[in-house]
Amino acid sequence: MAAYFLRRLIQSALILLGVSFITYVLLFVLPADPVRQIAGRAATAQTVENIRQQLGLDQPFLVQYGRYLANLVQGDLGRSYLQKTEVGDLITSRLPATLLLMLAGIAAELVLGLTMGIAAALMRGRFGDQVLMMTSFVTVSAPQFVVSLLMLYIFAVKLGWFPIGGYGTAAHLVLPAVTLGILGSGWYSRMMRSSMIEVLRADYIRTARAKGLGRARVVLRHALPNAVLPIIAMIGIDIGIFMGGIVVVESVFGWPGIGQLAWQAIQRVDIPIIMGVTLVSALAIVVGNLLADLIAPFIDPRIRLR
Amino acid sequence: MTKWLTSTALVLTMALPALAQDYTPDPNAKAGGAITVTYKDDVATLDPAIGYDWQNWSMIKSLFDGLMDYVPGTTTLRPGLAESYDISPDGLVYTFKLRAGVKFHNGREMTAEDVKYSLDRVTDPATQSPGAGFFGAIAGFEAAGTAGLSGVEVVDAATVKITLSRPDATFLHVMALNFASVVPKEAVDAAGPDFGKMPVGTGAFKLAEWTLGLRLVFEKNADYWRAGVPYLDQVVFEVGQEPVVALLRLQNGEVDVPGDGIPPAKFQEVMGDPAQAAQVVQGGQLHTGYITLNVTQPPFDKVEVRQAVNMAVNKERITQIINGRALPANQPLPPTMPGYAKDYAGYAYDVEAAKALMAKAGLADGFETDLYVMNTDPNPRIAQAIQQDLAAIGIKANIQSLAQANVIEAGGAGTAPMIWSGGMGWIADFPDPSNFYGPILGCAGAGEGGWNWSKFCDASLDAKAVEADSMYDPAKSPDRLALWAEVYAGVMEQAPWVPVFNEERYTMKSERMGGEDALYVDPVSIPVNYDYVFVK
Amino acid sequence: MADIMADTARAPQTVLRRLVLRRLAVFGFVLIMIVVSGAVFAPWIAPYAPEEQLFDGLTLEGAPLPPDARFIMGTDLLGRDLFSRILYGAQTSLVIGIVANSLALLIGTLVGITAGFFRGWIGATLMRFTDLMMAFPALLLAICLAAIFKPSLWIVALVIALVNWVQTARVIYTETTSLATRDFIAAERTLGASTGRILFRHILPHLVPTIIVWGTLGISTTVLLEATLSFLGVGVQPPTPSWGNIIFENQTYFQAAPWLVFIPGAAIILLALAFNLVGDALRDVLDPTQRGRD
């Protein structure tokens, strides 16, 4: 177990290293000069060169990347080129908003997805099942920005139930979280349905039914916990898809999270911010996968650690 | 502008005791109260040497002061931290007498040493100030570094002498830029690179609270050296607010000034409702949106082609596309800028004449080229309108809609044949015609990486520009402006640009906000002049 | 098991019959055909040229016109006929959907087969690389790539392929590894069959169902990614219409002119849904490992 954990940890670190390298390469070949952005429009060629030297951007690629890594290892993400603020501070100031939205979004997709999945499994083969499965197909086929705009239009503009974007109160959280929930629910409802069907077929459920226990009781007390467990392990894997959605949802709802930070930084090639956000997102994905793998054997004893 | 110049002409070379108060305070103004201003983007920095966004520009103005300042709501210069100044007969030496008893927010009195320190700091390459280039006329600028500027000398605690290497008629404007704000060395040293988050100045407000990504609170500086202002006790800036949300909150009475203005989707609704329209103040802006034509790249090296493009673009329709929130332009300078040529007719929209010019250039069949544009709305839309206009005279312009940084790179490198300037356009740093020439139309900016995206460089026009800027004597101001008008007429004759429109400003305010309209369309403090507005 | 798979792969009629029995798959197929005919016949159906900015397509204040008899879907913020743009936008979506996805499929299959068949350090390296790609925030990667290569139709397709091949690679890898350990492959080996023969004659045919399924499902992902990139302003260049960039260009107006956002939005959803329905049905019919689960 410990050895396995250590190996996975090293693998994850290598993946992060790879992500940082590829991102750095991409930003290095980007046809845009961050120094021009810093120096401003009235700058002389001399000023531009001075700034380039100070930031070490005149150095060969490997030297630049090496320096970045050396700082990264000490937990230093560098300073934003344009804001001169620590990237770590910028990310930590935005992270609570993103994490809040993530947690609320994951909760929403689980509630929606599991409910739909259970209902569909219980109505298996009937009309309700088909409607629910069709719904799940629609949600996985809908682009995030269309659902976001639709939710905004119906519930904020037309009905006025929620604020049109923004951040601060619980009311602000509802629409973006539900939007993320709807988008992710299709995936969970389909998995939940299969998982539930499988569990309902299992011997112990048949036994329980045979013992004369009520259908509701069997479903809630016996089938549900067993069917849900494998799904829980999937949350970790889902984080990658989720991170992509969050950038768009933040942008439509004006949610002040790291997605917005990244988008502004890309416009102005603020390399330290882009690197920081990419690494934090990759970290979230890697940790999510790691947790999913580690939890899986506890939940489902049939899975053994490789 | 002219008013100030004539009044000071009399006292030139003579130390001024004190300029008469050139701004009459509003008799109805009341002290007290707090207002809420919103922005979508987070505030980047409040360090006056670094901040160069349109949202932090006016915030920095309220936290800091420079030696010079503007009469609120106008483009007229007035002394700031300098009580008076004196210009040597050759226009090369400026001697500023500082006001006594001005205190920084940290309680220490401001002295001549602080002025020198601040100018040394902004020009030191280590500071990486985007405004360093404005101080190029100060002697010793080329050698600027940790040793400081040799041209800035402390005469005594209340006197600073600045020597220029060449006469510069815009120098007093430069001293009114945010970049020339006076900062206390001990606070800069203490905060290090985080000075932008913990600003200490002499301004009307001081920073009381800053929660990154959420809000900033400015608090009245009770010891402010200008008597009677500011009126407000507090200005709260809320960031991360979508313009649409900000407007709805204003309608609800929760917001006083939506800093990003009225969003396009709401513009007609607001202007169509008399009650709401009454809360909107309209004014000019020192802005021009233009298309650059790269004169080094065939076929734009032919003046006929550039003139044809000027005639082919339907500017009326482009302003229609942005809901009429701009006025069609015919020259680089905006109408509110001194030196604007009212009588200049420019190139009228005339497709037939444009075709004739194309034929004359031997390009009757047209050609294919690229039009670069920044990829945020409404710029790609405007580019498509331009594209359709150009198609009418046979020019097939492929749109390259890219991130801001990529467009700037292509423009600087001279690889972009045409660029629509929207989103990166020129809003004047200070209200003087020279500000639209040097870096964007003059030879200085035409080199690799420069902001002169047309790569237009005409030695005779450059010489005229230098001549105009050496006319530092305010008595010659009308001649100087006339010379500048000639420079721009010369530019338009060669047509390296298509001036398309001048954006109009529409500032919306809540009903409880008071103060004359000019304060809400202040040409220097955008969106509003926080020091002089008040709550009714 | 292997025989069943070989059967399904060789008997398209059976597959077709099974598919027709699934109403949802038929529905999806009909939707795809509608979009395809809209795209193919756009030059004849569209009342206006998609780029044409009509002089009378805007109000005097510059607002778009709502749907009426002349403009059945209204006009956009430049006074262009939205219906014509939707039709031509279908061309963009389909071209990118098919090109990008074929490319992704090709890369994914090559990587998956190579890694699965050769194992050893080649396989390990390739699979670690796919793990790495999985950890990349896909949208950020796509935006960076789009900024490096100036986006054109083909570049957008390439960018999407470079981001999307990973899923396919993983699935193909898993299938190949399990195939490679099967008895009949081992038997071939002992009979002295060359690596190439084993790969092309035995492994690849067995992967065909999976490739078809992922190829269909992947188009839906591709269509969505293209729309998202265009929505963020880094997709297909204007004035070429794409359903994503129609929404991008008009979204500031979505309260005053919701049709400009929701008509192309519905189009994207329907197309992605259609490929998902068909793909899912194909999976049920072709992929015996999934069969019988419901």
State the DSSP string of B355-373: HHHHHHTT-TT-EEEEEEE
Convert the pLDDT of each residue in C75-106 to its tens digit: 999 999 999 999 999 999 999 999 999 999 99
Whole-angstrom distance, CA of residue A221 vs CA of residue A199: 12
- Three-state SS at A102: helix
Q: Is A286–C135 a contact, with Cβ atoms under 8 angstroms apart?
A: yes
At residue A128, φ and ψ (nearest 5 deg) are -60, -40
Whole-angstrom distance, CA of residue B396 vs CA of residue B418: 12
The ipTM estimated for the assembled molecules is 0.83
Q: Using the predicted structure, report yes or no on whether residue A166 has a pLDDT greater than 70.
A: yes
Q: Considering only the beta carbons, identify the residue of C134, C143, C294 that sits closest to A266.
A: C143
Q: Is B269–C256 a contact, with Cβ atoms under 8 angstroms apart?
A: yes
Token couple for C138: 């896909």
**CA-CA-CA-CA dihedral for C226, C227, C229, C230, to nearest 10:** 110
Token couple for B207: 């920073």
DSSP state of B75: S
Name the residue in chain B with its Cα closest to that of A270. Answer: B405
Interface check B288 vs C, CB under 8 A: no
Identify from B36, B39, B42 which residue to disrupt to test chain A contact, counting A C-beta atoms within 10 A and taking the largest count. Answer: B42
Q: Is C269–A286 a contact, with Cβ atoms under 8 angstroms apart?
A: no
**CA-CA-CA-CA dihedral for A102, A103, A109, A114, to nearest 10:** 150
Ordered domains of chain A (ranges, CATH) = 2-73 (no CATH), 91-299 (1.10.3720.10)
Q: Is residue C62 part of a domain?
A: no
Q: Is C139–A11 a contact, with Cβ atoms under 8 angstroms apart?
A: no
Q: What value does the CA radius of gyration of chain C take, rounded to a whole number of Å?
A: 22
Q: Using the predicted structure, report yes or no on whether residue A196 has a pLDDT greater than 60.
A: yes
If one counts the domains in chain C, the total is 1
Q: Is C62–B388 a contact, with Cβ atoms under 8 angstroms apart?
A: no
Higher pLDDT, C201 or B66: B66
Token couple for B349: 């929209």
Q: Using the predicted structure, report yes or no on whether residue A220 has a pLDDT greater than 50.
A: yes
Q: Is residue C29 part of a domain?
A: yes
At residue B420, φ and ψ (nearest 5 deg) are -90, 125
In order of B13, B472, B475, the CA distances from B10 in angstroms are 9, 14, 8
CATH of the domain at C131: 1.10.3720.10
- Three-state SS at B70: strand
DSSP H or E segment with residue B409: helix B404-413
Whether B383 and B399 have beta carbons less than 8 Å apart is answered as yes
How many CA atoms are closer than 13 Å to the CA of C219, on its beta-carbon side? 28
Q: Is C137–A15 a contact, with Cβ atoms under 8 angstroms apart?
A: no
Q: Is residue C31 part of a domain?
A: yes
Q: What is the 3-state secondary structure (H, E, C) of chain C?
A: CHHHHHHHHHCHHHHHHHHHCCHHHHHHHHHHHHHHHHHHCHHHHCCCCCCCCCCCCECCCCCECCCCCCCCCCECCCCCEHHHHHHHHHHHHHHHHHHHHHHHHHHHHHHHHHHHHHCHHHHHHHHHHHHHHHHCCHHHHHHHHHHHCCCCHHHHHHHHHHHHHHHHHHHHHHHHHHHHCCHHHHHHHHCCCCHHHHHHHHHHHHHHHHHHHHHHHHHHHHHHHHHHHHHCCCCCCCCCCCHHHHHHHHHHHCCCCCHHHHHHHHHHHHHHHHHHHHHHHHHHHHCCCCCCCC
Cα A172 → chain centroid: 19
Whole-angstrom distance, CA of residue A17 vs CA of residue A12: 9
Query: By residue range, what is the domain housing residue C42?
Result: 2-46+82-290
Interface check C276 vs B, CB under 8 A: no
**Residue closest to B35 by CA, chosen among B201, B169, B220, B232:** B232
What pTM, to 2 d.p., does this model score? 0.88
Residue B420 with chain C: CB contacts under 8 Å: none
Identify from A49, A84, A100, A261 which residue to disrupt to test chain B contact, counting B C-beta atoms within 10 A and taking the largest count. Answer: A84
Angle value at C-alpha A260, between A257 and A264, nearest 5 degrees: 145
Q: Is B196–A83 a contact, with Cβ atoms under 8 angstroms apart?
A: yes
pLDDT at B374: 92
pLDDT at C6: 45
**Cβ contacts of residue B221 below 8 Å, gap of 6+?**
B105, B203, B204, B205, B206, B230
**Residue closest to B368 by CA, chosen among B388, B336, B393, B397:** B397
Q: Is C77–B381 a contact, with Cβ atoms under 8 angstroms apart?
A: yes
Whether B344 and B424 have beta carbons less than 8 Å apart is answered as no
In order of B85, B133, B432, C24, the CA distances from B435 in angstroms are 23, 12, 6, 65
Name the residue in chain A with its Cα closest to that of B128. Answer: A51
Higher pLDDT, A213 or B299: B299
Residue B453 with chain A: CB contacts under 8 Å: none
Q: Is residue C231 part of a domain?
A: yes
Higher pLDDT, C39 or A46: C39
pLDDT at B5: 33
pLDDT at C251: 82
Whether B434 and B469 have beta carbons less than 8 Å apart is answered as yes
- Three-state SS at B238: strand
Identify from B146, B239, B242 which residue to disrupt to test chain A contact, counting A C-beta atoms within 10 A and taking the largest count. Answer: B242
Interface check B475 vs C, CB under 8 A: no
DSSP state of B233: S
Q: Is B384–C150 a contact, with Cβ atoms under 8 angstroms apart?
A: no
- In this structure, chain B runs to a length of 536
How far is the alpha carbon of B408 from chain A, nearest alpha carbon, in Å? 8
Q: Which of A124-128, B47-51, B154-158, C31-35 has the lowest mean pLDDT?
A: A124-128
Identify from A11, A145, A237, A268 which residue to disrupt to test chain C contact, counting C C-beta atoms within 10 A and taking the largest count. Answer: A145
Q: Is residue C23 part of a domain?
A: yes
Q: Considering only the beta carbons, identify the residue of C51, C238, C253 that sits closest to B264.
A: C253
Identify from B377, B406, B501, B504 which residue to disrupt to test chain C contact, counting C C-beta atoms within 10 A and taking the largest count. Answer: B377
Q: Using the predicted structure, report yes or no on whether residue A185 has a pLDDT greater than 60.
A: yes
**Residue closest to B100 by CA, chosen among B77, B119, B79, B81:** B81
Name the residue in chain C with its Cα closest to that of A129. Answer: C294
Residue C213 pLDDT class (50, 70, 90 cuts) = confident
**Cβ contacts of residue B36 below 8 Å, gap of 6+?**
B236, B237, B238, B254, B255, B256, B257
**Residue closest to C53 by CA, chosen among B370, B385, B324, B311:** B385
Q: What sign does the CA torsion over B56, B61, B62, B63 have?
A: positive
Q: Considering only the beta carbons, identify the residue of A44, A165, A267 that sits closest to B405.
A: A267
Whole-angstrom distance, CA of residue B403 vs CA of residue B270: 31
Q: What sign does the CA torsion over B397, B399, B404, B406 have?
A: negative
pLDDT at C177: 85
Token couple for B454: 């047309």
Q: Using the predicted structure, report yes or no on whether residue C7 has a pLDDT greater than 70.
A: no
Q: What value does the CA radius of gyration of chain A take, rounded to a whole number of Å?
A: 24
How many CA atoms are closer than 13 Å to the CA of B19, on its beta-carbon side? 28
Whole-angstrom distance, CA of residue A120 vs CA of residue A117: 5
Q: Using the predicted structure, report yes or no on whether residue C293 has a pLDDT greater than 50.
A: no
- Mean pLDDT over the full length of chain C: 84
Name the residue in chain C with its Cα closest to that of A137. Answer: C273
Whole-angstrom distance, CA of residue B186 vs CA of residue B109: 12
**Cβ contacts of residue B7 below 8 Å, gap of 6+?**
none
pLDDT at C210: 85
Q: Which portions of chain B are predicted below pLDDT 70?
A: 1-21, 425-426
- The residue assigned the tokens 């839309």 is B381
Higher pLDDT, C99 or A130: C99
Q: Is C134–A278 a contact, with Cβ atoms under 8 angstroms apart?
A: no
Residue B323 with chain C: CB contacts under 8 Å: 61-63
**Cβ contacts of residue B495 below 8 Å, gap of 6+?**
B293, B303, B306, B307, B309, B310, B347
Whether C82 and C246 have beta carbons less than 8 Å apart is answered as yes
Q: Is B323–C147 a contact, with Cβ atoms under 8 angstroms apart?
A: no
Convert the pLDDT of each residue in C216-249 to its tens digit: 888 888 888 888 888 888 888 889 999 988 988 8
How far is the alpha carbon of C250 from chain B, nearest alpha carbon, in Å? 9
Whole-angstrom distance, CA of residue B397 vs CA of residue A176: 40
**Residue closest to B74 by CA, chosen among B170, B178, B175, B4:** B4
Q: Considering only the beta carbons, identify the residue of A42, A94, A165 that sits closest to B213.
A: A94
- Mean pLDDT over the full length of chain A: 84
Q: Considering only the beta carbons, identify the residue of B44, B242, B451 that sits closest to A82.
A: B44
pLDDT at A160: 83
Q: Using the predicted structure, report yes or no on whether residue C31 has a pLDDT greater than 90.
A: yes
**CA-CA-CA-CA dihedral for C144, C148, C153, C154, to nearest 10:** -110
Q: Is A240–C137 a contact, with Cβ atoms under 8 angstroms apart?
A: yes
Whether B130 and B48 have beta carbons less than 8 Å apart is answered as no
Whole-angstrom distance, CA of residue C56 vs CA of residue B136: 52
Q: Is B383–C238 a contact, with Cβ atoms under 8 angstroms apart?
A: yes
DSSP string across B264-280: HHHHHHHHHSHHHHTTE
**Residue closest to B2 by CA, chosen among B515, B474, B511:** B474
